[in-house]
Amino acid sequence: MRVVCNIAAAIALSVAPLIAAAAPLPASAAAAASAASPAGAELAAFRKAIRSKYDLKERAFAAHDPAPILEHFYTADVISVGQGEGIFIGREQIRPLYEDVVRNNRVKIESVYTFVAGRAGWDWADFHVTPTDGKTAPFTFAILFLWTQIDGEWMCKGDFFVTGSLKAGKLTPPSAEPK
């Protein structure tokens, strides 16, 4: 429980300055889309940079190679929390997860709502997983990626995911979760 509280506190502290400057919480999907960063050079550059990182992650899954994800996508102190997966703090804790999941899955990351301010940003995305075992049905995670810019490079400092789709606006019921 203490770890969960520490994670929640870390996330809250890292995004609080950005949230404080933001507008009130959106009441609909359309309002959420309009609450994303206003179009401009900063947002365009951020989207391009994180799309490059998503492409790297997709290629790593296709090649069944966790190294690019662990070394060039996540920061060393990453925090990843996932429904049905667990809580992972630091690259060494997520290493076994990625060594396992890249073996039998392909992924496609679809950015949905994006926000950036200075050297911090986040991206709500749909993370589509297609298992390659021929038995397991494809599924989607609604995921929040937390980004930080380090020496000019955008790196993922954390993520939080549940089964479901942001674009569809629905969570997957627990009975339908992948095993």
- Residue reference for tokens 């690259």: 91
Query: pLDDT at residue 93 above 60?
Result: yes
Q: Is 113 helix (H, G, I), strand (E, B) or coil?
A: strand
CB atoms within 10 A of CB 116: 24
Query: pLDDT at residue 109 above 50?
Result: yes
What is the third-level CATH fold of 38-176?
Nuclear Transport Factor 2; Chain: A, (3.10.450)
Asked if 161 and 129 count as a contact pair (C-beta separation under 8 A), the reply is no
Per-residue DSSP letter, 53 = H
Asked if 103 and 113 count as a contact pair (C-beta separation under 8 A), the reply is no
Beta bridge partners of 110: 126
Query: pLDDT at residue 105 above 50?
Result: yes
Mean per-residue pLDDT for 44-55?
97
pLDDT band, residue 23 (cuts 50/70/90): very low
Mean per-residue pLDDT for 127-152?
96
* Alpha carbon distance 166, 34 (integer Å): 15
Give the tokens for residue 4.
């969960």
For the chain, the distance separating the N- and C-terminal CA atoms, rounded to the nearest angstrom, is 24
- Give the torsion through C-alpha atoms of 52, 26, 12, 20, to 10 deg: 100
Asked if 75 and 148 count as a contact pair (C-beta separation under 8 A), the reply is yes
User: What pLDDT does 173 receive?
Assistant: 75
- Residue reference for tokens 């400057």: 21
Domain ranges of the chain: 38-176
Q: With DSSP H G I counted as helix, E B as strand and the rest as coil, what are the percentages for the chain, rounded to 5?
A: 40, 35, 25
* Alpha carbon distance 106, 88 (integer Å): 21
